[in-house]
Amino acid sequence: MRQYIIAGNWKMNKTVSESVQLASDIVAAVKDVKKTEVVIAPTYLAAAKVADVIKGSNVKLAIQDIHWKDQGAFTGKVSVDMVKEIGADYIIIGHSEQRQYFHETDETVNLKVKKTLAAGIKVIICIGETLEQRETGVLKEVLGLQIKGALAGVSAEDADKNVVLAYEPVWAIGTGKTATDEQAEEVHAYIRSLIKEIYGEKIAEDMRIQYGGSMKGANAAGLLAQKDIDGGLIGGAGLKADTFKAIIDAAE
Ligand code: PEP
């Protein structure tokens, strides 16, 4: 049985004080949640304070991206050791906004994934196709390249325990357009079949694959009821405790 994982990606939203408030609201809202793994990803600036707020609760900390180098002249970036020190449980890697606006490639995703896993932190690896890729019939090819690229050199043990995939069709992110339950399930099942090709049946069955793209309380139950959908990576609906909790309730 795969445990559901619901993760709120706060992107470039919330000041430090607003982040502390939202984290406290979420801690209170989910205190009785037992079955679902709950994760929040504030900005770098707020992450250390949010880590203090969630300490001892059932909410885990994710960081939105790292650089793969240990240190040095990389203005604007943070290293894995910096986020490890504040207690990051997960790092989100390869988000489509990183790919679209900040030159993220399958190669840099792979460097970041390996760096994160070597530090003993788990990864949420984002993959997904644009509308044009879907409409021109190259969806499977695109996902295959993204997955094989991201996981190159990742051990079976890490793949089994420390990797979560997030399937996020780019056309559904922040647009209010959600993939239908069937559309999402078809792709999740395909992704699982690719994992089976790479790592075999057991790891394919163990690996969690989140859906992301305008997930909210109203559509979460249908998506989460699908056999191969194991949670959600949430943008907009993760910015308020009640809308985030509504999705967690659907998972519980
Ligand atoms: C995301 O960016 O990961 C995301 C899924 O955003 P939204 O829920 O706002 O579509």
Band of pLDDT at residue 178, cut at 50, 70 and 90 = confident
Residue 239 CB: number of other CB atoms within 10 A? 17
Determine if residue 79 is labeled as part of a ligand binding site.
Answer: no
pLDDT of residue 153 exceeding 90, the answer is: yes
pLDDT in tens, 82-114: 999 999 999 999 999 999 999 999 999 999 999
Q: State the residue for tokens 């890697």.
A: 93
Q: Whose Cα sits closest to atom 4 in ligand 1? A: 235
3-class SS letters over 181-206: HHHHHHHHHHHHHHHHHHHCHHHHHH
Nearest to 49 by CA among 26, 20, 21, 25: 20
Determine if residue 128 is labeled as part of a ligand binding site.
Answer: no
C-beta separation of 121 from 91 below 8 A: yes
Pocket test for ligand 1, best of 5, 167, 223, 234 (most atoms within 8 A of CB): 234
Which ligand 1 atom sits closest to the C-alpha of 168?
5
Residues 6+ apart with CB under 8 A from 197: none
Residue range of the domain that includes 31 = 5-251
| Ligand 1 contact, 234 CB (< 6 A) | yes
Determine if residue 9 is labeled as part of a ligand binding site.
Answer: yes
pLDDT in tens, 204-219: 999 999 999 999 999 9
Which CATH number covers residue 182?
A: 3.20.20.70
| Ligand 1 contact, 9 CB (< 6 A) | yes
| pLDDT, the chain, mean | 97
pLDDT in tens, 30-66: 999 999 999 999 999 999 999 999 999 999 999 999 9
User: How much distance in Å is there from the Cα of 73 to the middle of ligand 1?
Assistant: 31
Q: Enter the pTM of the model.
A: 0.97
Question: What pLDDT sits at residue 58?
Answer: 97
> Count of domains in the chain?
1
C-beta separation of 201 from 191 below 8 A: no
- What amino acid positions are annotated as catalytic residues? 95, 168
* pLDDT, average across residues 228-245: 98
Max Cα–Cα distance, the chain, nearest Å: 48
**ipTM of the complex in this document:** 0.95
Determine if residue 214 is labeled as part of a ligand binding site.
Answer: yes
pLDDT in tens, 60-90: 999 999 999 999 999 999 999 999 999 999 9
Is 110 exposed, middle or buried (CB count within 10 Å of its CB: 0-12, 13-18, 19+)? buried
| Ligand 1 contact, 232 CB (< 6 A) | no
C-beta separation of 171 from 179 below 8 A: no
Question: What pLDDT sits at residue 177?
Answer: 87
* pLDDT, average across residues 216-241: 98
Q: Whose Cα sits closest to atom 2 in ligand 1? A: 235
Question: What pLDDT sits at residue 113?
Answer: 98
Question: What pLDDT sits at residue 112?
Answer: 98
